[in-house]
Amino acid sequence: MNDYAQQIARLQAEIEEQQVILSDLEAEVADLRRDVEAFQKRYERIVHPVEVRLEAARAAIAELERQQYLRRAHPLGGGRPLEEIWQPPEGYVPVEEQYRRTWQEPPPPPEEPSPVRPAATDPEGMSIKQLYRQLARRYHPDLATEPAERAFRNDLMARINAAYTARDLGALQALARQPEGAHPEQPLAALRLQELEQIARQLKRRIADLKLEKAGLLYGDMLRLSLEEKLVRRQGRNLLAEMAARLEREYDEAMARLEQLRRSQRSSDG
C-alpha cells in the first residue's frame, strides 16, 4: 500500500501542476482567439471585398490572355479551344495526373488476415465480460468476514459495476492484476492510481493541443497583421484602410488591362 500511496501522491501533485499550466494556456489562447476574431471581422469588412473583386478581374484577364495566345499559336484553329486542336503525344501524362502521382499517397496494401491466437489467460487478453465475472467472484461483498471489509467490498463492487457499464477495460484490468487474497483496500488504491493516470494523460493531451493552437495563432497571418495594425496606429495611420486603398488601385489597373484586352479581342473578331 505504501508504494501505491507514494504513486498516488506523486500523480496528484503532477495533476495539480498540469491543471495550473492548462488554466494559464486556456486563458492565453482565449485572449488570442478574441484578438484574431475581432481583427478578422474588420479585415473581412474592409479589405476582403476588394480582394474578391481584384481576384475576379485577374481571372478574367488570364482567360482573355489565354484565348489570345491560342489564336496566335493556332491561327488555323478558328478560335477553337486548344484541347480540340492539339492531340497529346503517346505516353503524355497530364499535369493533374503528375501532381496526383507525386503528392498523393499510394493506396495501402491489403491487410493480411490476422492469425488466430489462442485464448489468453492474462487480464490484458480477457474480454470485458470475462473480467467483470472474474472480479465479481473475487470481490463480492458476501465474501467479507467483518463489517469493515464488507464496506470496502461494497465500494469496490460499485466501482466494478460502474467500470463495466462505462466499458472501462483499463480499470477492470488494473483490478484483475491484483494478487489473489489482497485486502480490498489495495485494489481500490490500484483503481484510484489508474484513474489518476488517465486524468494525467488527458491533461497532457489537452495541453499539447492548446500549445499547437497557440503557436498557430501566434504565427498566423491575421495576428501578424493585427500586431502590425497596432504599431502603425501609433503613427496615426489606418493599416486596413491603406491595404484596401492599395488593392483598389490594383483593381483599377486590372480593369484597365481587362478593357484593353476586350478591345483587342473585338478588333480581332471584327
Distances (CA, A) of 20 to 12, 103, 193, 204: 13, 42, 21, 12
pLDDT over 60 at 125, yes or no: no
Q: What is residue 177's predicted lDDT score, i.e. its pLDDT? A: 77
Grid coordinates representing 181 are 487474497
- Confidence band for 121, pLDDT divided at 50, 70 and 90: very low
Reported as a single tens digit per residue, the pLDDT across 206-241 is 999 999 999 999 999 999 999 999 999 999 999 999
What's the rounded mean pLDDT across residues 136-150?
83
Specify which of 87-91, 138-142, 186-190, 210-214 reaches the highest per-range mean pLDDT: 210-214
What is the share, in percent, of the chain residues with pLDDT greater than 70? 76
Of 62-71, 167-176, 239-248, which gets the smallest average pLDDT? 167-176
Non-local (6+) Cβ contacts of 9 within 8 A are none
pLDDT over 80 at 36, yes or no: yes
In terms of pLDDT, which residue wins out, 113 or 212? 212
Q: Locate the domains of the chain by residue range.
A: 2-75+121-269
Q: What is residue 3's predicted lDDT score, i.e. its pLDDT? A: 80
How far apart CA 143 and CA 220 sit, in angstroms, is 63
DSSP H helices in the chain: 2-46, 48-73, 82-85, 95-103, 128-139, 147-165, 169-176, 185-218, 221-233, 239-269
What's the rounded mean pLDDT across residues 43-60?
94
Q: What is residue 77's predicted lDDT score, i.e. its pLDDT? A: 52
Reported as a single tens digit per residue, the pLDDT across 153-183 is 888 888 888 888 888 887 788 777 777 666 6
Q: What is residue 95's predicted lDDT score, i.e. its pLDDT? A: 44
CA pseudo-torsion sign 246, 248, 254, 259: negative
